[in-house]
Structure 1
Amino acid sequence: MRTRLLPLLLLAWTTPVFAHGITHGAGFMTGFNHPVLGFDHLLAMLSVGLLSTQLGGRAIWTVPLAFMAFMLVGGILGLYGVALPWVELGIALSVLLLGLAIALGRHIPLLLAMGFVGLFAIFHGHAHGAEMPALASPVLYALGFLTGTAVIHLLGVALGIIMQQLSHKLPLLRLSGGVIALVGGYLIVGA
């Protein structure tokens, strides 16, 4: 029984081989995976969701949407090869400063919060656009990284709500912001 099951399990874990490259419909999963699998992107986008929850009200949806809109602008700039200095540093700074904003727990006016995340979103989007694979469809790739970002934002909002409900004695949301800021500081040293 084991000798029959092992080949089936191995077959299930293999990936298909394409002889001629993927040209039709390529890009969505590659775009989706870029923010999800990039640790710095993941932390920044989770932070946007956490921050929006901390601010509450309309910020829960307007702050993440502002991030996504500016990220798309940055993605288009990166796709067309428009130079943007210090992209990696901007991404690392976004993790540090978003973490600090959460850790400090101060109420930021809505428009300022939207501008704050929008500025950093341009760096994240530029990195996504500049790293688009040559055979990928730009539209599908952009839809992929926007969808991945939206999923991470929603996860951040959900985590923020859970942390706020569990914070009877311990300010979990602010503590998580402090940890994110420390990781951002580490990323800056590496950038």
Structure 2
Amino acid sequence: MTPRLLRPALAAAAALVPSLAYAHPGHLDAVGFAAGFGHPIGGLDHVLAMVLVGVFAVQLGGRAVWLVPATFVAVMAAGGALGAAGVEVPFVETGIALSIVVLGAVVAFGVKAPAAAAMALVGLFAIFHGHAHGAEMPETAGGLAYAAGFMIATALLHAAGVGLGFAIGRLAEGRGDWLVRAGGAAAGLAGVALLA
């Protein structure tokens, strides 16, 4: 690409990034298990946050490997119930973007927090993620299937993060920690872009 075309192409890409990352445009067909399952997987913000929760849990080790992701799913369900009930939670999109920034930083800096503190941190962010899902959940019987779908997809994304954390640690013995931290830093920068 010529330098003359590079600037406009980069400007157009930068203008489109926020709309791609905004995962909560008010889906009209948010009914049933498939819609609920697809929602967390379809938004970059959700994928990054969920995978980071899993990687963070691996970095902490011990019981945190399952306690931290389980806390996220449980509190996300509560946030989803708030959204479905029409209870307003301020700054949902900002909270979601901040979750990526903060979790990316936590992973990048290899923060070793007590499991209870890590559970509180991910629980705070889970409220925002859950509310976003719940606000789109239909009030019909399909809403329960939708909720089950987004909870299962979230748990699977956490499992992917846990698997990724373990795999990187094993594959790159001496460099595993560095690779995980670099990934956390990159995800955190993506979160900053989502905030902008």
Give aligned pairs, total: 165
| Structure 2 counterpart of 1:140, from 128, 138, 145 | 145
Whether 2:99 is the aligned partner of 1:94: answer yes
| Structure 1 counterpart of 2:130, from 125, 128, 143 | 125
Identity of aligned residues (%): 50
Instruction: Kindly indicate whether the alpha-carbon contact (under 8 Å) linking 2:84 and 2:139 is maintained by their aligned counterparts in 1.
Output: no
Structure 1, unpaired ranges of 5+: 1-21
Structure 2, unpaired ranges of 5+: 1-28
Q: Cα offset for 1:135?
A: 5.7
Q: TM-score, normalised by structure 2?
A: 0.81
| Structure 2 counterpart of 1:175, from 164, 182, 185 | 182
Whether 2:85 is the aligned partner of 1:85: answer no
Alignment of structure 1 residues 1-191 onto 2, 5 Å: 26-133=31-138, 137-170=142-175, 171-189=178-196
Name the larger-Rg structure.
1
Q: TM-score, normalised by structure 1?
A: 0.83
- Cα distance in 1 for residues equivalent to 2:149 and 2:55: 22
Change (3 A) 1:150 1:56: same
Please say which of residues 161-170 and 93-102 is displaced more in the overlay. 161-170
> Aligned-pair RMSD on alpha carbons?
1.4
Q: Cα offset for 1:141?
A: 1.0
Q: Cα offset for 1:165?
A: 1.4
Q: Cα offset for 1:167?
A: 3.4
Instruction: Kindly indicate whether the alpha-carbon contact (under 8 Å) linking 1:166 and 1:172 is maintained by their aligned counterparts in 2.
Output: no
- Cα distance in 2 for residues equivalent to 1:98 and 1:164: 19
Q: Which has the higher helix share?
A: 2
- Cα distance in 1 for residues equivalent to 2:78 and 2:133: 11
- Cα distance in 2 for residues equivalent to 1:136 and 1:157: 32
